[in-house]
Amino acid sequence: MAENSWNFYKAISGDSEKGTQGTHSSLSNPLDSVIGSTYYRDFSSNSGIIKAVLTGSNFVGLDGSKAVSMRAHVRMNTESANKHIMFLAKTNTSNPYSSTSDWYKTVGYKIGISDQSFSSNTIKGAYNVHVPLGVNLLSSDLFAVGTWHLIRADFIPSYSNGSIIEDHIKLFKSTDNGNTWTQIGSTVTGNISNYPWGHSTNKYWGFQTWGCSIDNFEIYVSNESA
């Protein structure tokens, strides 16, 4: 995963901000080279939370006239309480919270997978932890540890009489490299009074992780109005 156009922020001084460059061939259950190229970004050795935001002008301060979709291959190699990898929407450039147990307090919508089940060999808990949502979207679907998973999050502004009234947030997974997608849980309604579009500070998109790896991170802006 390329580092161009990204700013990285670390929660605990001394952590590597950008993770390390991992090689797929060194992994058990690696991504196929056609899907994952040669390298991925490995954050599994970091003791603190890493937050990455896209700084390219096409993806900063979006005004809600278009829907946004983010997707990535993600992997957790070992299970531990509060490990997670989350897509971030409408976040800022401040460091995430320094305590790994406080990761959910990072500004913005957060949705992805986290180890909330504390059961063996599973990652459970697709979260949008932005208060007042606090919805656990993933009550039954399990993600195996030590395996790559392709997930996607869509953020769709909903209009009434020409004005945005709320956001519709959806999480998906794919088992065939994005040819088909299955929605996980229900659509969550986001409150734009807390995180409006075009905010002067909370205007960035990216991801946050503790103890996970990521590859093929992509962000799309729809061709049509939302």
Number of folded domains that form the chain? 1
- Reference 83, options 212, 208, 214, 215; nearest CA is 212
For residue 158, is it within any domain?
yes
For residue 26, is it within any domain?
yes
For residue 116, is it within any domain?
yes
For residue 96, is it within any domain?
yes
* Domain span holding position 98: 6-225
Tens digits of residue pLDDT in 160-193: 999 999 999 888 889 999 999 988 877 888 888 8
Q: Mean pLDDT for the chain?
A: 81
For residue 220, is it within any domain?
yes
| Domain at 146, CATH number | 2.60.120
* DSSP category for residue 119: -
For residue 80, is it within any domain?
yes
Tens digits of residue pLDDT in 38-60: 899 999 888 889 999 999 988 99
Q: Considering the entire predicted model, what is its pTM?
A: 0.87
Cβ atoms of 65 and 196 within 8 Å: the answer is no
For residue 151, is it within any domain?
yes
> Per-residue pLDDT for 26 more than 50?
yes
Terminal Cα distance for the chain, rounded: 29
For residue 1, is it within any domain?
no
> Per-residue pLDDT for 117 more than 60?
no
In the prediction, which pLDDT does 4 show?
72
Structure tokens at 8: 């990285």
